[in-house]
Amino acid sequence: MLLEVEDLCVNYGRIEAIRNVSFTVEEGEVVTLIGANGAGKTTTMKTVSGLRPVRAGTIRFKGEDITAVPPHERPVLGIAQSPEGRGCFVGMTVTENLDMGAYARTDRKTPKVKEDRDRVFGLFPRLAERRTQIAGTMSGGEQQMLAIGRALMASPTLLLLDEPSMGLAPKLIQQIFDIITEINKQGTTVLLVEQNAAQALKRAHRAYILETGEVVREGTGEELANDPAVKAAYLGGDV
């Protein structure tokens, strides 16, 4: 098992954001967490990447307990996140942003980094066209591509994607999800948090539904996409 989250509890002050959340991600999968706003999806993702402290529970990665590992060490272990809101370095160029993604790598002075940058440009040709452009002058869709590309530059075993379609036009949403599928086909395991439940379930091998900080249902992407209750609650009655 690549990632095991067991009985995870996280608080914001006295407020219990998630409680007793458990899920797994196997190597090679796309696993998605879906739920309404405030369900605890982003908190769960931030906790896996080390940005939120754990009140109780355990996070294991490749069989090792990483619950107390600080966030700056998790990319070295093989976990990289594209955060909600993109978080691009707006004063840097596209290439400089991508190079920042490789900052924690021990092989960052080797040709492998250029190979990975070329891979990102292959996945996102628009970034290749704008490699010298300042990130802050780019569209929201281009910045989302850059945020995902920067995370890939860490050469992760597990890629965490938090709301990659947020604020994007429908045509770009389809493109982003096609690229996520391609990233997975190329060998990167993906944990996806997404409000576009229809697209997320269509791409996911397995999925978990969060409500008010708890996992209330799990299954394959296809099972949940065809579940009448899930359709009614998250898919507008249909996929």
pLDDT digits (tens, 9 = 90+) for 187-205: 999 999 998 999 999 999 9
Residue with tokens 């008010």: 212
d(CA 31, CA 35): 14
d(CA 36, CA 209): 9
The token duo for 17 is 């954001």
Contact between 191 and 34 under an 8 Å Cβ cutoff? The reply is: no
3-state SS assignment for residue 154: coil
The token duo for 209 is 């539904």
Low-confidence ranges of the chain (pLDDT < 70): 236-239
CATH architecture, range 1-70+196-239: 3-Layer(aba) Sandwich (3.40)
Residue with tokens 């908190």: 43
Contact between 155 and 105 under an 8 Å Cβ cutoff? The reply is: yes
Q: In DSSP terms, which residues pair with 193 in a beta bridge?
A: 33, 162
The 3-class secondary structure across 89-106, one letter per residue, is CCCCEHHHHHHHHCCCCC
Domain ranges of the chain: 1-70+196-239
Instruction: Determine the pLDDT at residue 234.
Output: 87
Residue 62: how many CB atoms within 10 A of its CB?
A: 15
Q: How would you label 135-173 residue by residue, b for 16+ Cβ within 10 Å and e otherwise? A: beebeebbbbbbbbbbbbbbbbbbbbbbbbbeebeeebb
Q: How many residues does the chain have?
A: 239
Instruction: Determine the pLDDT at residue 171.
Output: 87
